[in-house]
A and B are shown apart, each in its own frame.
Chain A
Amino acid sequence: KAGVTQTPRYLIKTRGQQVTLSCSPISGHRSVSWYQQTPGQGLQFLFEYFSETQRNKGNFPGRFSGRQFSNSRSEMNVSTLELGDSALYLCASSLGQFNRAEAFFGQGTRLTVV
């Protein structure tokens, strides 16, 4: 079955702009989580959505937001981009049910802010 699909794979934006990244989870998975990966900070949790509701949030400013649709697809948005937002953004999907919490990651979206 198809894996986690993230689009676009690469993106270049200018400081101050906003960006929207998309994630399609594995069919049947209801939980989608987002992570930011940078060389300095490593992999950091942004937020998680389950059944269209945000149920967990990491320590990121309000410029980072997300949503989940009824088909479990998710988008994350970053407004007023800063140079430090350059990173690999990873999406992970899981069933979200007890004892089946292994997460499956997409290939990521590499965002470069110039």
Chain B
Amino acid sequence: DAKTTQPPSMDCAEGRAANLPCNHSTISGNEYVYWYRQIHSQGPQYIIHGLKNNETNEMASLIITEDRKSSTLILPHATLRDTAVYYCIVRVAGGANSKLTFGKGITLSVRP
């Protein structure tokens, strides 16, 4: 699985958009970008994933650059409950391997 690089932390104001960057310059053509988050002392929560097109769901939007070497997770209106560690993971979807390789993630702090 391709390695990802995320800054260690960032913060944003409540109600504003939170843009979380991720670099994955060695991504392969069949690898997807997944985002999970982990709120303190809970299990990780799936947020969104994509291959090359931008994706949006009820939780967030995922913007993948045209060369697929980086992506941005956007939380459009951050709330205090969005404070968590966010993990960007790159892997092949499905097949005979459901393993997720977690890095250190980025700690998002949403301030009032």
Q: Which residues of A contact B (CB under 8 A)?
A: 4, 31, 33, 35, 42-45, 48, 50, 55-56, 58, 88, 90, 92, 94, 96-108
Extra A-B contacts (6), CB below 8 Å, given A92-B43, A101-B91, A105-B44: A33-B100, A45-B100, A45-B101, A50-B96, A90-B44, A101-B95
Q: How far is the CA of A94 from the CA of B45 in the complex (A)?
A: 12
0 or 1 for each of B33-61: is its CB under 8 Å from A? (1 = yes): 01000000111111001000000000000
Contact between B93 and A96 (Cβ–Cβ < 8 Å)?
A: no
Chain B interfacial positions (CB closer than 8 Å to A):
34, 41-46, 49, 87, 91, 93-104
Q: Which residues of A contact B91 (CB under 8 A)?
A: 101
With contacts A4-B43, A43-B44 taken as known, whether A103 is within 8 angstroms of B100 at the C-beta atoms is yes
Query: Once the chains are docked, how many angstroms separate the CA of A5 from the CA of B111?
Result: 32
Known A99-B93, A101-B93, A102-B34: A94·B44 in contact at CB below 8 Å: no
A33-B99, A99-B93, A101-B93 known; A42-B104 Cβ under 8 A? yes
